[in-house]
Chain A
């Protein structure tokens, strides 16, 4: 097993499903993963609602979902931060299956 440090960052975005705000902005947490695990594995393990992840960094650099993690890595999961503006509210949401969006984002980097 290896251990990585993970942080879920919060935002004032109403696309956030109700009840999860407290989970985000909780400071860094340590997560144990099998050797060779990827970012996608980590997100699955954390049960993070993937459409909420706009950007992922590993050790401060943008990374894709296929990125293999290493012991001691520091991971930041960053939601769609709009700041003073906003994405207008969509319909109420429950949970979504793993979408391809973050993988597509990963190709960007």
Chain B
């Protein structure tokens, strides 16, 4: 079967049992891999009401048919489980080398079940797997643990997916780090791994992934790799160069999303990073774009370059959203998150939440301890990250996520919890990008910018509209309009993004839809069409929704923080707010268009049948 090894590795940590599972080709063609396959496994195999941090949860590492095939953007994988942060479908996308190496070791997917009685790690190599003792690794930060694993296994090219102390301590938004500096950040997958007492997965393989038509893949890889201006831009800035434009456009989350303009924003921009802390760039498997940042410093903070550097999301989360204009503090916070295994978005959001609660007199002196949680205090941000990772003092409260923390604080603190679907908002303002806000509210994994629509991508005639027109979205829409046309674009965008995240192809490599169709056909030998792929995306979203409704989430849970409905006070978008009644109408329209029942929220039977999901109608 071209494009797949055809082997799913199942590891039961309770029983110490390892099994290899095979499935027919139709299964792979229906779900591809990544997110859609994650939705299949979670909806199919998890018992309703399963404890996200108990042995019944399953932690799935899923690749796509192109993972590990040498071309730019193929170094991705997905991690999925029921989220301990949101209680919903939990899934996170990550780059690096781990996914590619897992395939080279002979497996497409890895599903970890049960719970070990003591710390363990998995050693997966050349079609074999072993559960090994990890007592000596427990408590180590990510670089220490990776170094120790490579030394123990005697191979410096072993690739890892591992947790830091935050995952061990079940911080609800702990992440899993691929190769130490690539994060499966969202949904708290690190806490699930910690609950299973699984410190790390080490992989090494020597096989090549079989593909049907390698010439097509080589040609497309060459097209990207020979685009010198594209490579130069990605290497120079990565994602960090959106900071200044978002600030100038009034969409940079500032002081816990109170406004979209940060007066000191220039200090956080790409040029400032490049001129100060940036010492190099890094890459994922086989990618010529090298968009990852590498920073280093000795003072005022010692920052180890092995942990990489911040993405835009991280700069906004610890920078503007905490009112901090100190890039060194932002980069130190990023380094600590990589070391301890914390999602930078949720961590920054939680600290900003605490800062606003302090401002409003909702945190008592003893809760504040010695950390001076004021907006603008970069040192306090750095201290707070460590406390969250170790669940120390106020960090223990914030480690629960802003929704639970606000409930415990009481006194109206929930008004300052910037979360949707149980997850902290990403660094895109719903008042500047209202369809992004809609995506936050109804996304299968809670607030996830990866499944929202960037309204800014749909404002102009010209070449930017061409890929939308391929999907039947024919006309640009004004930036802050929230309309049924925007809802259509959001839905089609979610399907397409789920195609990429199921094929496990990076969104930052500019392949057209036709390129993706060609790549998947070339990998698998199937005559894949855009229609068929969009159905895979739709299948994934429908199953994730089915999972969520089974866990009791419905129409009443599709909410945004009240703040999103209040006018922005400053910046280019001053005065902009989402109209609440229109928002509710558009949530209803989304349900109608998706084929979801307006009362139960469940995907309708006809939709499931049309998607070939007969088994899910039972």
A contacts, CB < 8 Å to B: 7, 9-16, 18-22, 25, 27, 50-55, 57, 60-62, 76, 78-91, 93, 96, 99-102, 104-105, 108
Contacts of A87 on B, CB cut-off 8 Å?
A: 454, 457-458, 464, 467-468
* Listed stretches B46-54, B356-364, B571-579; interface member: B571-579
Inside 8 A of A51's CB, which chain B residues have their CB? 460-464
Q: Which one, A25, A61, A84, A86, contacts B572 given CB within 8 A?
A: A61
A86 touches B239 (CB 8 A): no
Q: Find the A residue at minimum CB distance from B236.
A: A21
Given contacts A7-B248, A60-B571, contact A82 B456 (CB under 8 A): yes
Contact of A54 with B456 at beta-carbon distance under 8 Å, contacts A60-B571, A90-B467 already known: yes
A-B contact pairs, 5 of them (CB 8 A): A21-B236, A57-B572, A82-B457, A83-B246, A90-B466
Chain A residues whose C-beta falls within 8 Å of the C-beta of B462 in the assembled complex? 15, 50-52, 93, 96, 99, 101
Q: A15-B462, A88-B467, A90-B512 are in contact. List 14 more A-B contacts (CB 8 A).
A: A18-B229, A50-B462, A51-B463, A54-B460, A57-B250, A62-B250, A76-B249, A78-B245, A80-B464, A87-B464, A88-B510, A89-B467, A90-B467, A96-B463
C-alpha spacing A76/B248, complex, angstroms: 7
Inter-chain CA distance A16–B241, complex, in Å, is 13
Binds A, one of B165-173, B318-326, B401-409, B472-480: B472-480
Q: Which residue of B lies closest to A63 (CB)?
A: B572
B227 contacts chain A at the CB level, 8 A cutoff: yes
User: Using Cβ atoms and an 8 Å threshold, which residues of chain B touch A62?
Assistant: 250, 572-573
- Interface size for chain B: under 10, 10 to 19, 20 to 34, or 35 or more residues? 35 or more
A21 near B233: Cβ-Cβ < 8 Å: yes
Taking the nearest CB of chain B, how far is it from the CB of A76, in angstroms? Answer: 4
Q: How far is the CB of A7 from chain B (nearest CB, A)?
A: 7
> Mask for B229-256, Cβ within 8 A of A = 1, else 0?
1101110111101101110111100000
> Do the beta carbons of A12 and B234 come within 8 Å of each other?
yes
Q: For the complex, what is the distance from the CA of A100 to the CA of B460, rounded to whole Å?
A: 9
B-side interface residues toward A, CB under 8 Å?
227, 229-230, 232-234, 236-239, 241-242, 244-246, 248-251, 261, 270-271, 291, 311-313, 426-428, 449-450, 452-454, 456-468, 476, 478-481, 493, 496-497, 507-508, 510-513, 515, 571-574
Interface pairs A-B: 3 shortest CB-CB:
A51-B462, A14-B510, A9-B245
Q: Is the CB of B467 within 8 A of A108?
A: no
Say whether A60 contacts B460, CB under 8 Å: no
Which residues of chain B have C-beta atoms less than 8 A from A22's C-beta?
Answer: 232-233
Complex contact B244–A85 (CB within 8 A): no
The answer to whether A90 and B464 touch across the interface, beta carbons within 8 angstroms, is yes
Bound CA–CA A82/B249 (angstroms) = 12
The verdict on A25 contacting B244 (CB below 8 Å), with A12-B239, A85-B507 known, is yes
Chain A residues with Cβ below 8 Å from B236 are: 21
Q: Which residues of B contact A81 (CB under 8 A)?
A: 242, 245-246, 249, 251, 454, 456
- The CA of A89 and the CA of B270, in the complex, are separated in Å by 23
Please state if B507 and A86 are interface contacts (CB–CB under 8 Å): yes
Q: Determine the distance from Cα of A10 to Cα of B274 in the docked complex, in whole angstroms.
A: 14
CA distance A55 to B282 in the complex (A): 32
Contact A27 B271 (CB under 8 A): yes
Min C-beta distance of A80 to chain B, whole Å: 5
| CB within 8 Å for A108 and B479 given contacts A25-B241, A101-B462 | yes
- Which residue of B452, B460, B478 is within 8 Å of A99 (Cβ)? B460
B residues in contact with A101, CB < 8 Å: 459-462, 476
Most B-side CB within 10 Å, residue of A52, A83, A90, A105: A83
